[in-house]
Structure 1
Amino acid sequence: MLPFLAALITPWLTRRLGHNAAWLLALAPAAIFIHFLGFSAEVADGGIVTGGFQWVPSYNVSFSWLIDGLSLTFALLISGIGALIILYSGGYLKGHKQLGRFFSFMLLFMGAMLGVVISDSFLMLFVYWELTSITSFLLIGFDHTREASRRAAIQALVVTGGGGLALLAGLLVIWNITGVSQVSLLLNYGDEVRASPFYLLALFLVLGGAFSKSAQFPLHFWLPNAMEAPTPVSAYLHSATMVKAGVYLLMRLNPVLGETVWWETILPVFGGATLIVGTLLAIRQTDLKLMLAYTTVSSLGLLVMLTGFGSEYAISAAVLYLVAHSLFKGGLFMVAGLIDHEAGTRDVTRLGGLRKAMPVTFIAALAGAISMAGLPPFLGFLAKEEIYYALWATDPWSLAFVAVAVVGNGLMFVIGFAVALKPFLGPEVKTPKHAHEGPVLLWLGPLTLGVAALVAALISPLTHRFISSPMASAISGEAETVTISVIPHMGPALILSLVTIAFGIVAYRMLDRLRAGMASLLQTIGWGPDRGFDQFVSGIVRLSGAVTRIVQPGRLDFYMTATFVMIAIALFAPMAWYGEWPSMPVWPADVQFHELAVFAIAFLGLGAVIYARDRLTAIVSLGVQGFAVALLFMLFGAPDLSFTQFMVETLAVVILALVMTRLKLSASDHRATRDKLIDMSVSLVCGTGFALYLLAVTQQPFNPYISDFFAAYSKIVAHGTNVVNVILVDFRGTDTLGEIAVVMVTGLAVLSLIRVSVGYAGIKIGDNDPDRREETR
């Protein structure tokens, strides 16, 4: 809850301290980091921390949390990197008039992502999952005056929000299969879920949520477009938050949905395709942020591919790479923003020679690039070695993915060093702004993350004990131990690493030609998922317009006809479907003359309504039906109800007559014969339906429970002997008050119509004053 509380005071704090408020606001995620760090020893020893309280006990819905190796690692990354991002934001957006709003959105985003990774309850997980989509929408569209920002925000919301609905359906299916609604309990039901006939349905729905959130091909297009957000958002989004939520979900559900042919086929195939597509598209870019954004797509594909393989070493590789990616990608994004902030451009072709002007930034960039390239002695090297160790085998399936990994890692090598070297080395290039080193708020974050990647690799035994091994154990569902160190070992993994480095060096030297080639290829292909999204949205808008023109044509007679047709369907369909037609009543032999007279009055009134030649006669004749019903109430011993019916019918006739005389309507009905036949048919069907329905109800055995209750308690509870009055005034007094309010509002509406009609009637049509005529119009 701390990020949400901090978000409340952020605008007030920023108004008073300006960008320096970042130092105080960063204390919130720093405190969260320290708090979660306190669980490290317990989790490293195999412990799991759970807690919470019942929310809706009747549906087994709880507000609960689960802290194990997986959730703890994510929580530490979210809070630790989050603290650095808050500081970075203070320097990057210094002087921005909406800085307070930005800080609030960032803290809300942080709280939402923390909620996702520590949630134990399905409902809690889904609520926080959707909250990440909403807060990312606010952050991506932060510069809402720009059309590109608004489009990117809407695109991200549509794609990830739709995936969230798929996830909700998937969780409901899993709940239906297992009967449990907590993740901690679900982990024990893997065999039951995999054996269920609904397994594939649950799998596809969950993958829909995960793939959309983690930008898997072909849903990858929203993530690069999200670069319209300010750089602090990009750095946080790509390193530790929303884009890894899908990966987190797949890792969390691996013990439940994994170890099947479907899981071990779909995830590697889509993950491998995303890895290659992302790196190829990254080669095409010249914007530093877009280069890094597409490599994030690639890295997410690599993580999904490794999770799908599911072997012990594949899980260990996924764990190491996830942590390494969070560190180097967060740092490199902050470097890209720092270059843009101090040099005035992110175009790599317009940058060069910044090493002397920005030495600290260069060191931070180099650290991130070395880790991203998988070179020792950084954590990225450990991850890459473990990846090759996990994938290497001699069968065609494994060799295909080894090739995919080598190509993907080699191209990420190229992009990493293109970001870290090209802006800083070579001859000095004149930039839009005079380049100089940024303030401490800007370079503290990337430098810290670079040092963290180095230290984590150098002290790998401690890293594995407190981070890698507990996380791998949580993903596998059984105890795992990660042992890889920064010291290379001879074998296929090292050979593949050398091949990757050689390929990366060659591709780096050919970067300009590769970029031109990819640009030509993409131009030849033309259509892509991004354009397809626009076409999809445009199609939905056109379809909505067409449907609206059909069902909302702006004609009251159409609405009334459609309403009564649906009423007729609602009346007849259940009776026809279940065969519950009522028995036709038998005409009683002892009918009295006055009872027959009431029926005769009703029939005469009906005939008068049908054959009336003008509207006023029809309205008055319509009241005869209500008076006949009132007489029936009186004959059957309900004088209060009868009196109410008389009053209502009288009031209705008077109001309708008054309105009709004030409105400028023709005296009689001039509808076409076809329209009259349609209306007659609909009214007959509805009337017959209500008659049959009432017959069916009255033929059911009478249950006196409610009647006995009111008869017994009206005097005791409400101190009234008139049961009807007591029901209206006491037992359902609030409902009666609502009905009175409706009548009052209706009366006011009628009064307004009358006053408007009178006002127009008082205008002299022949007034020759042009101004008066304009005022009349």
Structure 2
Amino acid sequence: MLNDVAGLTLMAMLLPFAGALVAPYLTARLGANAAWLLALIPAFAFVHFAGFWPVIAKGEVVTGGYAWVPSLNLSFSWFLDGLSLTFALLITGIGTLIVLYSGGYLKGHVQQGRFFSFILMFMGSMLGVVVSDSFLMLFVFWELTSITSFLLIGFDHSREASRRAALQALVVTGGGGLLLLAGLIFIWNITGLTQLSLLLHSGDILRESPFYAAALFLVLGGAFTKSAQFPFHFWLPNAMEAPTPVSAYLHSATMVKAGVYLLMRLNPVMGETPAWEILLPFFGGITLLVGAVLAIRQTDLKLMLAYTTVASLGLLVMLTGFGSPYAVEAAVLYLVAHSLFKGGLFMVAGIIDHEAGTRDVTKLGGLRSAMPITFVAALFAAISMAGLPPFFGFLAKEEIYAALAGPDPRAILFTLVAIIGNALMFVIGFAVALKPFLGPKVETPKHAHEGPVLLWLGPLVLSLIGLAAALFSPVAHAYVSSPMASAVAGEAETVTISLVPHIGLPLALSVLTVALGILVFLGLDRARSLVARLVDALGPGPDRGFDHFIAGLVRLSWRVTQLVQNGRLEVYMTSTFLLLALVLLVPPIVHGELPAMPTWPSDVRFHELAFIFIAIVGLIAVLAAKDRLTAIVSLGIQGFAVAVIFLLFGAPDLSFTQFMVETLSVVILALVMTRLRLSPSDHRTWTQVLGDGAIAIAAGLGFALMLLKSTQAPFDAALTDFFNAYSKVIAHGANVVNVIIVDFRGTDTLGEISVVMITGLAILALIRIRVVAVAPAQKTVAALKGKNVEKELRK
């Protein structure tokens, strides 16, 4: 039985799903004010998980859950350490602000309740990903994030661009989820473990396995697709078709970091290998440059931020795999800082769009006086994104350069990559925060004014948290940075960096980054034009390649469908029975497992021979039938003869079932056939008759040989003894056969009944379609009698 803490943890995990059920009802009753009530759900979860801070800060972990399928070592369990707790607090804390923001952003929208439902379902899914201990639980929640993000990205489903973006995100991240599943199965088979908390102590087993490379590539496939690493980065900017609350939550602070979370979680067991320290920095570095350069090209505020999110994810992946002493600490600091400033800037972009009517940075200016609170929130977030004091982003950038800088060529290369990427993100951060607000006022589609409290509360709170975390960095490190870094590194780590300037190479590189950023910012229009020409010269990118891939997949599917589903029932039946005959006959012939031919028993009685003769007569009657109805009735002769044979050999229950099945089959088939023309006979050529007959004989012979082989094997009475011993004790039934069907095979029997019921409904539907189709024609003929037919037809 779960204790109180475990029960509250389970409640915190499941409450978002419960909130998703009631969100449409509450919104219909309360309107936008429902946001205040619904925000209590993530707020409760945040308070609950924050209660683990003292325990986690001491280096301890919290586990809980219950066994699901003990025989397969599957459980519904959770695992909290510095890494998972920080993610849980980001998800629930920022989630609280996003729910409130959505109340203001979508106020009056007819589908606001549906949006709340989707965002809460996603919140529960993402929370499940980061606290899961069980592999199966991790995968289930991982796929749920893909499904719920599909719903959120395609929220405005009337627009083709939204539908395309949602489908693209689902295909990319869903495909990556399948790779992750395969990788987790590899890890399970290598280590024999299905829980992350136990896996963290088995790194040597995994790294020394000959299947380590396969497991690594599969896991990276899942992580890279979810976290938009090159060449899978294209889906994230396209996902900006979603409403801004989705962009601020899914595509900056939570979902896209699921892949980074996975890499950080597995760093203690899969890291410190050449493959890990080559692949992660390489793809992370390319993603950083691609995202930062493409961000310069954009003029839409959300797209500018989206591409810098791609760049930031690349930076996190690069740091996670870099392998230097400070790399893990830098990744941890930057992840938290990025969630704070990027979530706030996305919300600022949404406020500008909501209140001014456009997100085009070239058509904005002079909004500072009209939107002072939004300007302050944007400026604070941009300072943190630029890596300037006194915000948390400054600490992250200093630690990044401390981790990357070194004398060897590898360190120099990735330091240059980081400088270029950070400088370009500096440019975008201030472009979003300054250009819409400073300069002469520009006429906008809507009369710009400060948004309601539900809109500016989120970005202002996040930017102030970024400020407070830097000012009180010892507290932030003790409760967040150090426990998180320890979890990622797999050993105790202590983060000590503060706002006090540290004279040295990292500070010099920071100054160089700022100088380069200022230079590009002052010539942003020229830089945008230059990047645009460069991208056009390179030609179509992965986004266009995705369209070609989907188009090719559709064409291939159509051709395969035309081949295997040509619409002719006779082809389907022939193929099915031909394959069945091959499966039954080829293996025993190839492997020499044919049964011994039985001898004719000497004690066969006359009445037994009579029923065998009746069955043969029924077979001949079916073959000689001149019409379909006669063939159906003749087919019943065989069934009744077999039922009597069952009865003679002491199986009355089976015999009774056979009688019922044969009776119902004949009646149902006869009823159906009355709706068809029964008079035509079979007009197949002799070639077709011989071919079909050969297949039928081969299938029947295969079944006969299989039954003979089965009956000639030594009889294992284990099941018989079990049913005889427990039918009365467990199921309280004296009739063993009935108990097996109803109790021991209850679910199987239910499935059989369901199949029969569905078949009956399908037959009824076909009969009704026939009636409905014929009736109008009869009415038309009756109406035309005695009238001018040509005149009526013209009508």
TM-score normalised by L of structure 2: 0.89
Q: What is the alpha-carbon distance in structure 2 between the residues aligned to residue 458 and residue 620 of structure 1? A: 90
1:298 corresponds to 2:311: yes
Per-residue deviation, 1:295: 0.1
Q: Which residue of 1 aligns with 2:543?
A: 530
Q: Is the 8 A contact 1:633 1:641 kept in 2?
A: yes
Task: Rate the CA distance shift 1:268–1:706 in 2: closer, same or farther, 3 A.
Answer: closer
Counterpart secondary structure, 1:64: strand
Q: What is the alpha-carbon distance in structure 2 between the residues aligned to residue 2 and residue 399 of structure 1? A: 48
1:375 corresponds to 2:388: yes
Task: Rate the CA distance shift 1:770–1:422 in 2: closer, same or farther, 3 A.
Answer: same
> Where do residues 605-644 of structure 1 align in structure 2 (5 Å cutoff)?
606-607=619-620, 609-610=622-623, 615=628, 618-619=631-632, 622-623=635-636, 625-626=638-639, 629=642, 632-633=645-646, 636=649
Q: What is the alpha-carbon distance in structure 1 between the residues aligned to residue 172 and residue 192 of structure 2? A: 29
Q: Is the 8 A contact 1:239 1:330 kept in 2?
A: yes
Task: Rate the CA distance shift 1:254–1:736 in 2: closer, same or farther, 3 A.
Answer: closer
Q: Which residue of 2 aligns with 1:507?
A: 520
Letter of the structure 2 residue corresponding to residue 223 of structure 1 = L
Per-residue deviation, 1:135: 1.8
Q: Bigger shift: 695-704 or 240-249?
A: 695-704
Aligned length: 775
> Where do residues 681-720 of structure 1 align in structure 2 (5 Å cutoff)?
681-704=694-717
> Where do residues 301-450 of structure 1 align in structure 2 (5 Å cutoff)?
301-450=314-463
Q: Which residue of 2 aligns with 1:104?
A: 117
Task: Rate the CA distance shift 1:192–1:766 in 2: closer, same or farther, 3 A.
Answer: closer
Among candidates 69, 79, 82, match of residue 66 of structure 1: 79
> Where do residues 412-561 of structure 1 align in structure 2 (5 Å cutoff)?
412-561=425-574
Per-residue deviation, 1:584: 1.8
Per-residue deviation, 1:510: 1.9
Q: What is the alpha-carbon distance in structure 2 between the residues aligned to residue 87 and residue 107 of structure 1? A: 12
Q: What is the alpha-carbon distance in structure 2 between the residues aligned to residue 621 and residue 315 of structure 1? A: 79
Task: Rate the CA distance shift 1:125–1:749 in 2: closer, same or farther, 3 A.
Answer: closer
Task: Rate the CA distance shift 1:631–1:384 in 2: closer, same or farther, 3 A.
Answer: closer
Q: For structure 2, which runs of at least 5 residues remain unmatched after alignment?
A: 1-13
Letter of the structure 1 residue corresponding to residue 684 of structure 2 = R
Deviation readout 1:417-467 (Å, 9 max, x if unpaired) = 111111122222111112222222222222222222222122222222221
Q: Which residue of 2 aligns with 1:34?
A: 47
Counterpart secondary structure, 2:459: helix
Counterpart secondary structure, 1:65: strand
Q: Which residue of 2 aligns with 1:221?
A: 234
Q: Is the 8 A contact 1:238 1:329 kept in 2?
A: no
Per-residue deviation, 1:732: 7.0
Q: Bigger shift: 635-644 or 245-254?
A: 635-644
Q: Bigger shift: 216-225 or 9-18?
A: 9-18
Per-residue deviation, 1:675: 2.6
Letter of the structure 1 residue corresponding to residue 63 of structure 2 = T
Deviation readout 1:274-307 (Å, 9 max, x if unpaired) = 0001011101100001000000000000000000
Q: Is the 8 A contact 2:629 2:678 kept in 1?
A: no
Counterpart secondary structure, 2:186: helix
Q: Bigger shift: 572-581 or 322-331?
A: 572-581
Counterpart secondary structure, 1:51: strand
Q: Bigger shift: 510-519 or 214-223?
A: 510-519
Q: What is the alpha-carbon distance in structure 1 between the residues aligned to residue 748 and residue 274 of structure 2? A: 58
Q: Is the 8 A contact 1:122 1:183 kept in 2?
A: yes
Among candidates 636, 641, 663, match of residue 676 of structure 2: 663
Per-residue deviation, 1:17: 3.1
Among candidates 158, 183, 190, match of residue 196 of structure 2: 183
Task: Rate the CA distance shift 1:582–1:397 in 2: closer, same or farther, 3 A.
Answer: same
Task: Rate the CA distance shift 1:703–1:498 in 2: closer, same or farther, 3 A.
Answer: closer
Q: Which residue of 2 aligns with 1:56?
A: 69
Q: What is the alpha-carbon distance in structure 1 between the residues aligned to residue 49 and residue 560 of structure 2? A: 52
Per-residue deviation, 1:218: 0.8
> Where do residues 733-772 of structure 1 align in structure 2 (5 Å cutoff)?
767=781, 769-770=783-784
Counterpart secondary structure, 2:326: helix
Q: Is the 8 A contact 1:49 1:66 kept in 2?
A: yes
Letter of the structure 1 residue corresponding to residue 149 of structure 2 = S
Task: Rate the CA distance shift 1:577–1:339 in 2: closer, same or farther, 3 A.
Answer: farther
Q: What is the alpha-carbon distance in structure 2 between the residues aligned to residue 377 and residue 735 of structure 1? A: 67
Task: Rate the CA distance shift 1:74–1:744 in 2: closer, same or farther, 3 A.
Answer: closer
| RMSD between aligned residues | 3.4
Counterpart secondary structure, 2:78: strand
Q: Which residue of 2 aligns with 1:280?
A: 293
Letter of the structure 2 residue corresponding to residue 18 of structure 1 = G
Q: What is the alpha-carbon distance in structure 1 between the residues aligned to residue 387 and residue 767 of structure 2? A: 81
Q: Is the 8 A contact 1:581 1:696 kept in 2?
A: yes
Counterpart secondary structure, 2:76: strand
1:570 corresponds to 2:598: no
Q: Is the 8 A contact 2:628 2:678 kept in 1?
A: no
Q: What is the alpha-carbon distance in structure 1 between the residues aligned to residue 481 and residue 512 of structure 2? A: 26
Q: For structure 1, which runs of at least 5 residues remain unmatched after alignment?
A: none
Deviation readout 1:510-553 (Å, 9 max, x if unpaired) = 21112112222222333221122222222222222222222222
Counterpart secondary structure, 1:66: strand
Q: Is the 8 A contact 1:312 1:476 kept in 2?
A: no
Q: Which residue of 2 aligns with 1:237?
A: 250
Q: What is the alpha-carbon distance in structure 1 between the residues aligned to residue 729 and residue 136 of structure 2? A: 45
Letter of the structure 2 residue corresponding to residue 583 of structure 1 = A
Counterpart secondary structure, 2:228: coil
Among candidates 8, 13, 25, match of residue 12 of structure 1: 25
Q: Bigger shift: 168-177 or 570-579?
A: 570-579
Q: Which residue of 1 aligns with 2:224?
A: 211
1:264 corresponds to 2:288: no
Q: What is the alpha-carbon distance in structure 1 between the residues aligned to residue 376 and residue 778 of structure 2? A: 85
Q: What is the alpha-carbon distance in structure 1 between the residues aligned to residue 763 and residue 626 of structure 2? A: 25
Per-residue deviation, 1:490: 2.4
Task: Rate the CA distance shift 1:247–1:720 in 2: closer, same or farther, 3 A.
Answer: closer
Per-residue deviation, 1:702: 3.1
Counterpart secondary structure, 1:312: coil
Task: Rate the CA distance shift 1:560–1:279 in 2: closer, same or farther, 3 A.
Answer: same
Q: What is the alpha-carbon distance in structure 2 between the residues aligned to residue 618 and residue 75 of structure 1? A: 68
Q: Is the 8 A contact 2:288 2:313 kept in 1?
A: yes
Letter of the structure 1 residue corresponding to residue 313 of structure 2 = L
Task: Rate the CA distance shift 1:602–1:412 in 2: closer, same or farther, 3 A.
Answer: same
Among candidates 188, 193, 201, match of residue 214 of structure 2: 201
Task: Rate the CA distance shift 1:762–1:62 in 2: closer, same or farther, 3 A.
Answer: closer
Q: What is the alpha-carbon distance in structure 1 between the residues aligned to residue 36 and residue 305 of structure 2? A: 27
Q: Is the 8 A contact 1:272 1:401 kept in 2?
A: yes
1:246 corresponds to 2:259: yes
Among candidates 154, 160, 181, match of residue 168 of structure 1: 181
Letter of the structure 1 residue corresponding to residue 430 of structure 2 = F
Q: Is the 8 A contact 1:239 1:327 kept in 2?
A: no
Q: Is the 8 A contact 2:356 2:444 kept in 1?
A: yes
Q: What is the alpha-carbon distance in structure 2 between the residues aligned to residue 349 and residue 770 of structure 1? A: 70
Deviation readout 1:97-134 (Å, 9 max, x if unpaired) = 22222222222222222221112122222222122222
TM-score normalised by L of structure 1: 0.91
Among candidates 152, 155, 172, match of residue 139 of structure 1: 152
Letter of the structure 1 residue corresponding to residue 269 of structure 2 = V
1:80 corresponds to 2:106: no
1:24 corresponds to 2:37: yes
Q: What is the alpha-carbon distance in structure 1 between the residues aligned to residue 733 and residue 149 of structure 2? A: 59
Per-residue deviation, 1:308: 0.6
